[in-house]
């Protein structure tokens, strides 16, 4: 017990020492200064450090930012694609406010930042959020930074970093994986936001969508399967005419979290454990086969506990039965009964699903669910509707047009109303006394009068 206590005392002491030594280090660089290999710039609060490093067994030198207490947790790299061969790198800030990374002996520039404006009095500073910024003098408003590393993400999402679009300037901020654990050059995978229709997050493999975090329903991304309330951080989705982005914020200052997109395209969340002084691997976001984007094709639902996992929606059949039965579900399913459009279509409710791809959706933030249904019925190409926001019992309207893709069964999912021809909205009833025609479809509202006589009449008119 005593030993354990002294161990923690020792850790605590070591920790305070680190903080103190960090805090005394210089936090800014002006055009007269520079950083060379071996030197570092420490953020004002001591959380992050900027300097040169070599990943893993690699001999190449990169300029990067890492978490001070865990130097192998590199969160940002400047010269991702242009490594230095030796330790002669030099980081300088020009009088105009441009950051340049050059080789001392030859003055060859291997990387540089850019800026839309010329600075009068440029200062380079590493903020305690991990953001490396070029400011003009004392300007601290982030909208006026001349340049910031948070605009050029690598594989790590830190608290308050944004993934998404500045719709005014057209700047896209997105995560991109490293090629390998020893090569920070952009790899195959990225996490980005597609803002067509209702904005959604996607995992991309080069130009191909491979996973869909989904759209925001007021509480969470519709495709996030973790479900557990996260006591450490909270996701925010901001979406207005100027910008659309997603970020997370820490709720507890004594815990730290980062999200990393691995070279294999897996999003991993790490939590810093102050007691053990190590990263606890908190969760993996990209999990099972149903997370594979549009695996089952149009008008299907992916059910992870089913075999096979792809199932046609009710009233639909495989478009290419042979492919479907051999496990190639990409052609999806088609309707058995075409929509009638104006007369008598209705909706079938699916409870608890990950909402389909919203890239060709339409939405309205104030409409009620009933108005939403009416609007969908009034437009022949509308195929499904639901609430836009699930809070307060549900508000707003979200409509789909044409194909419905990438639905999965999901306990935390939402209700989805899919348009069906009236004939498909009945119930199937087995009549033992007519073995030759064992299944008749009868509209629900005709059930109360269903007697044998009525049934015969029904048979005449319907079949």
Ligand X SMILES: *[C@@H]1O[C@H](CO)[C@@H](O)[C@H](O)[C@H]1NC(C)=O
Q: Does 252 bind ligand X (CB under 6 A)?
A: yes
Cβ proximity of 193 and 358 under 8 Å: no
Stretch that binds ligand X, among 311-319, 326-334, 366-374, 418-426 (CB under 6 A): 326-334
Q: Does 362 bind ligand X (CB under 6 A)?
A: yes
Q: How many residues bind ligand X (CB under 6 A)?
A: 23
Cβ proximity of 191 and 208 under 8 Å: no
Of 128 and 323, CB closest to ligand X? 323
Of 230 and 262, CB closest to ligand X? 230
Q: Which of residues 115-174 bind ligand X (CB under 6 A)?
A: 116, 121, 123, 137-138
- Least Cβ distance, residue 432 to ligand X (angstroms): 41
Sheet holding 267-273, edge to edge: 156-157, 256-261, 267-273, 278-284
C-alpha closest to that of 89 among 62, 71, 64: 62
Q: Does 36 bind ligand X (CB under 6 A)?
A: yes
Of 90 and 416, CB closest to ligand X? 90
Stretch that binds ligand X, among 17-25, 71-79, 327-335, 340-348 (CB under 6 A): 327-335
Q: Does 114 bind ligand X (CB under 6 A)?
A: yes
Q: Which of residues 80-109 bind ligand X (CB under 6 A)?
A: 90, 104-105
C-alpha closest to that of 428 among 446, 412, 410, 441: 441
- Least Cβ distance, residue 393 to ligand X (angstroms): 26
- Least Cβ distance, residue 331 to ligand X (angstroms): 6
Cβ proximity of 443 and 425 under 8 Å: yes
- Structure-token match 């069964």, residue found: 409
Of 382 and 420, CB closest to ligand X? 382
Q: Can you name the residues that pair with 190 across neighbouring β-strands?
A: 176, 204
Of 16 and 87, CB closest to ligand X? 87
Out of 330, 359, 368, 395, point to the residue binding ligand X (CB under 6 A).
Answer: 330
Of 25 and 255, CB closest to ligand X? 255
| 379/287 Cα distance (integer angstroms) | 37
- Structure-token match 């597609």, residue found: 194
Tokens of 210: 């491979």
DSSP H helices, 118-224, are none
| 269/259 Cα distance (integer angstroms) | 4
Stretch that binds ligand X, among 50-58, 250-258, 294-302, 351-359 (CB under 6 A): 250-258
DSSP H helices, 253-340, are 321-325
Tokens of 132: 């490396």
Q: Which of residues 263-292 bind ligand X (CB under 6 A)?
A: none
Q: Does 319 bind ligand X (CB under 6 A)?
A: no
Out of 25, 235, 255, 458, point to the residue binding ligand X (CB under 6 A).
Answer: 255
Q: Which of residues 372-411 bind ligand X (CB under 6 A)?
A: 379, 381, 401
Tokens of 120: 């009068």
Q: Does 323 bind ligand X (CB under 6 A)?
A: yes
Out of 39, 128, 188, 331, point to the residue binding ligand X (CB under 6 A).
Answer: 331
Of 316 and 455, CB closest to ligand X? 316
CA–CA distance from 286 to each of 181, 223, 264, 352 (Å)? 19, 10, 11, 19
DSSP label at residue 298: B
* Number of alpha carbons in the 13 Å side-chain half-sphere of residue 39: 15
Out of 32, 141, 254, 351, point to the residue binding ligand X (CB under 6 A).
Answer: 254
CA–CA distance from 96 to each of 116, 117, 121, 150, 410 (Å)? 11, 8, 8, 20, 53
Per CB under 6 A, residues contacting ligand X are: 34, 36, 90, 104-105, 114, 116, 121, 123, 137-138, 252, 254-255, 320, 323, 328, 330-331, 362, 379, 381, 401
């Amino acid at each position: 017990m005593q030993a354990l206590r002294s161990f923690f005392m020792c850790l605590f002491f070591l920790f305070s020492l680190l903080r103190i030594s960090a805090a005394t280090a210089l936090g800014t660089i002006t055009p007269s200064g520079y950083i060379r290999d071996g030197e570092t710039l420490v953020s004002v609060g001591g959380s992050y450090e900027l300097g040169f490093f070599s990943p893993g067994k690699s001999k190449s030198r990169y300029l990067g930012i890492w978490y001070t207490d865990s130097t192998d947790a590199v969160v940002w790299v400047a010269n991702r694609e242009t490594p230095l061969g030796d330790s002669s790198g030099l980081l300088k800030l020009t009088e105009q406010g441009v950051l340049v990374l050059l080789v001392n002996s030859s003055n060859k520039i291997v990387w540089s930042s850019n800026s839309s404006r010329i600075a009068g009095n440029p200062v380079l500073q590493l903020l305690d959020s991990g953001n490396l910024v070029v400011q003009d003098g004392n300007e601290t408003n982030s909208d006026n930074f001349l340049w910031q590393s948070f605009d050029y993400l690598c594989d790590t999402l830190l608290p308050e970093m944004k993934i998404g679009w500045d719709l005014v300037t057209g700047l896209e901020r997105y995560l991109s994986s490293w090629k390998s654990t020893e090569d920070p050059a952009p790899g195959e995978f990225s996490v980005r936001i597609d803002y067509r229709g209702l904005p959604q997050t996607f995992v991309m493999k080069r130009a191909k969508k491979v996973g869909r975090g989904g759209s925001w329903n007021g509480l969470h991304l519709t495709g996030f399967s973790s479900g557990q309330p996260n006591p450490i951080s909270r996701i925010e989705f901001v979406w207005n005419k100027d910008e659309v982005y997603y970020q997370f914020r820490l709720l507890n200052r004594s815990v730290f979290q980062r999200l990393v997109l691995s070279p294999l395209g897996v999003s991993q969340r790490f939590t810093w454990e102050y007691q053990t002084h190590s990263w606890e691997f908190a969760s993996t976001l990209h999990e099972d086969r149903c997370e594979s984007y549009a695996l089952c094709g149009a008008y299907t639902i992916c059910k992870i506990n089913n075999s096979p996992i792809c199932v046609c929606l009710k009233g639909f059949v495989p478009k290419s039965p042979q492919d479907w039965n051999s496990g190639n579900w990409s052609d999806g399913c088609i309707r058995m009964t075409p929509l009638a459009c104006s007369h008598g279509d209705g909706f079938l409710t699916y409870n608890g699903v990950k909402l389909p791809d919203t890239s060709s959706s339409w939405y309205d933030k104030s409409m009620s669910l009933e108005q939403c249904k009416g609007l969908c019925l009034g437009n022949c190409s509308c195929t499904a509707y639901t609430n836009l926001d699930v809070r307060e019992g549900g508000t707003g309207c979200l409509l789909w047009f044409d194909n419905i893709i990438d639905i999965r069964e999901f306990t935390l999912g939402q209700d989805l109303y899919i348009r069906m021809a009236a004939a498909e909205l009945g119930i199937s009833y087995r009549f033992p006394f007519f073995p030759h025609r064992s299944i008749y479809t009868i509209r629900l509202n005709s059930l109360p009068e269903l007697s044998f006589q009525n049934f015969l009449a029904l048979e005449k008119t319907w079949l």
